[in-house]
Amino acid sequence: MAKLKDLIRGNDLIVAPVVCNPIMARMAEDAGFKAIYLSGGTLGWVKCVTEANLTLPEMAEVAVDIRAACKLPLVLDAGGDITVFSAQEPFTNLQCAFS
């Protein structure tokens, strides 16, 4: 499985569909996508809360579930600059990229 940095260095367009759960991640993998994307805004929509009310442990829980089902590079959009620095701790072992 290619790493995200290798995909970015390549010449091909990277299309990373939004996934909210392991089934969506598996579907993206089976469809031939090379990366997947989990955003706080979308996950908040699924959980019926605003992104600001979504906790980092909630996002980490979903990322762990996705990672268990799918080995595609996972891009996590955990919010603005302040959130990204504090968000990295729960995700260090997941091998995710932050946007």
Backbone angles phi, psi at 43, to 5 degrees: -65, -40
How far apart are alpha carbons 66 and 46 in whole angstroms?
15
Give Cβ neighbours of residue 70 (< 8 Å, ≥ 6 apart).
19, 22, 25, 26, 28, 29, 36
Q: What is the pLDDT of residue 94?
A: 59
Per-residue pLDDT of the chain (99 residues; tens, 9 = 90+): 678 788 889 898 889 999 999 999 999 999 999 999 998 888 888 888 877 777 778 888 898 899 899 989 998 887 654 444 444 555 555 555 555
Report if pTM > 0.85.
no
Contact indicator for 57, 16 with CB cutoff of 8 Å:
no
